[in-house]
Structure 1
């Protein structure tokens, strides 16, 4: 399952308030680029038919069927990558199909930046 850290959720909730998207769900997407890299996207959206929808850290998370397997076992965090530079990062925290609670899944796996949110 895809999870969020409290830091990521706080930043997303703040962004929702600033952009008049308060109360909207957070859509998370992933796809494999032509060069084999995994690309991520996130934004506020309405639920659609066949979406996986669940609550995580006070947000409704939406994942469309094509992204489910790619996001399984991923964690979204909001971290300071350099002094004063904050970014969302996606981390693989477990093998796809496994499970562990968000509080025990931080910090392992490779990091992949997903834009800046300063």
Structure 2
């Protein structure tokens, strides 16, 4: 199942509040490129009847059934890789560019 880290969930909730989209679900989507890498998309949206719906860290998440195979087992985090430039990252073992985090 897809999961959010606490840091990602906090940032999603902050973005929803600042953007006036509180109460909407976080929609996730993924497509596989020719080289096998996965392209991720997200935004706030209303759920449809066909959507897969679940919660992670208090955030309502929706995705279409065709996105589930690419997003299953993925963890979305919010990190600062470069000082002052935080962003979302997707840790997905199905993505050939995936590198597991080093153990601390």
Name the residue aligned to 2:99.
110
Higher relative contact order (CA 8 A, sep 6+): 2
Deviation at 1:15, TM superposition (A): 0.4
The two structures have a TM-score, normalised by structure 1, of: 0.76
Name the residue aligned to 2:71.
71
Deviation at 1:34, TM superposition (A): 3.1
Further displaced range: 40-49 or 26-35: 26-35
The two structures have a TM-score, normalised by structure 2, of: 0.86
| Superposition RMSD in Å | 1.6
Q: How many residues align?
A: 97
Q: Report 1:1-118 matches (<5 A).
A: 1-92=1-92, 110=99
Q: Name the CA distance, whole Å, in 2 between partners of 1:62 and 1:68.
A: 10
Q: Name the CA distance, whole Å, in 2 between partners of 1:78 and 1:10.
A: 9
3-state SS of the aligned residue for 2:20? coil
**Gap runs ≥5 in structure 2:** none
